[in-house]
Copies of this chain bind each other. A is one copy, B any other.
Amino acid sequence: MTAAAPIRLLLADDHPVVRAGLRAVLETEPGFEVVADVPTAEAAVTLAERPGIDVVLMDLRFGGEMRGSQATAAITAREGAPRVLVLTTYDSDADILAAIEAGATGYLLKDAPPEELAAAVRTAAAGKSALAPTIALRLMDRMRAPATALTRRETEVLQLVADGLSNAQISKKLFLSQATVKSHLVHIYAKLGVDSRTSAVAAGTAQGLIRR
């Protein structure tokens, strides 16, 4: 095989400026070829089905319906799918975990310098996982302190609390009894070291456990 085979890229971001920036940054680097760029998650899923794409650079938040993590899951579900490298502004735990669970090969922040970006794309193309230092650190923290790790259900409840719902509303929405909601909340308070729903929301957003 020739060493000169370029890595073929698909860019998915709803900001035209960011797409242009990625193009500019990556096309000046040797060994990259931007095949297409799209402004929606849906378009990314469609285009990623076509052969000839090695790596998809995927934003997490789009203006439209589908979230980047869903698109990532849809893409990586298929056989011989391209690698997906998540590239976003946010470094919240919830987003990171959602992306990794969805099958993302890597997770980068948009404030990454161009060299780091290029290196991560090469790493991803080779099938190896690429995490931004900040992200890696955050994951290490999470491993070390399992206290701050909420369960799936607890996170769900906390998110609804953050949305302003009462225990009664949450219980209806999740088909639970209020007792169960309270029980989850007690555990959440213990894990976050707080004693009220509002401070739990504050702690949760501060630690990026829930999206704002």
CB distance from A191 to the nearest CB of B (A): 15
1/0 contact trace for A8-33 toward B, CB 8 Å?
00000011111111111100000000
Select from chain B the residue with minimum beta-carbon distance to A39.
Answer: B111
A113 interface contact, C-beta 8 A: yes
Copies in the complex: 2
Q: Is the CB of A165 within 8 A of B21?
A: no
Number of residues in A with C-beta < 8 Å to the partner? 37
Which residue of the partner chain, among B24, B25, B114, B200, contacts A164 with CB atoms under 8 Å? B200
Q: Which of A110, A164, A194, A205 has the most CB of B within 10 A?
A: A164
Secondary structure call for the A interface: helix
Q: Are A63 and B17 in contact (CB under 8 A)?
A: no
Q: Is the CB of B23 within 8 A of A164?
A: no
- A203: which B residues are within 8 A, CB to CB? 164
16 extra A-B contacts, CB within 8 A, seeds A15-B110, A15-B111, A20-B25: A17-B112, A17-B117, A19-B21, A20-B20, A21-B21, A21-B22, A23-B24, A89-B89, A162-B201, A163-B199, A164-B194, A164-B200, A164-B202, A165-B199, A166-B196, A197-B198
Q: List 30 A-B contacts (CB under 8 A).
A: A15-B21, A15-B89, A15-B110, A15-B111, A16-B25, A16-B113, A16-B114, A17-B25, A17-B110, A17-B117, A19-B21, A20-B21, A20-B22, A21-B22, A21-B24, A63-B111, A89-B89, A162-B198, A162-B201, A163-B199, A163-B202, A164-B196, A164-B198, A164-B199, A164-B200, A164-B201, A164-B203, A166-B198, A197-B198, A212-B212
3 nearest CB pairs, A to B = A21-B21, A164-B199, A164-B202
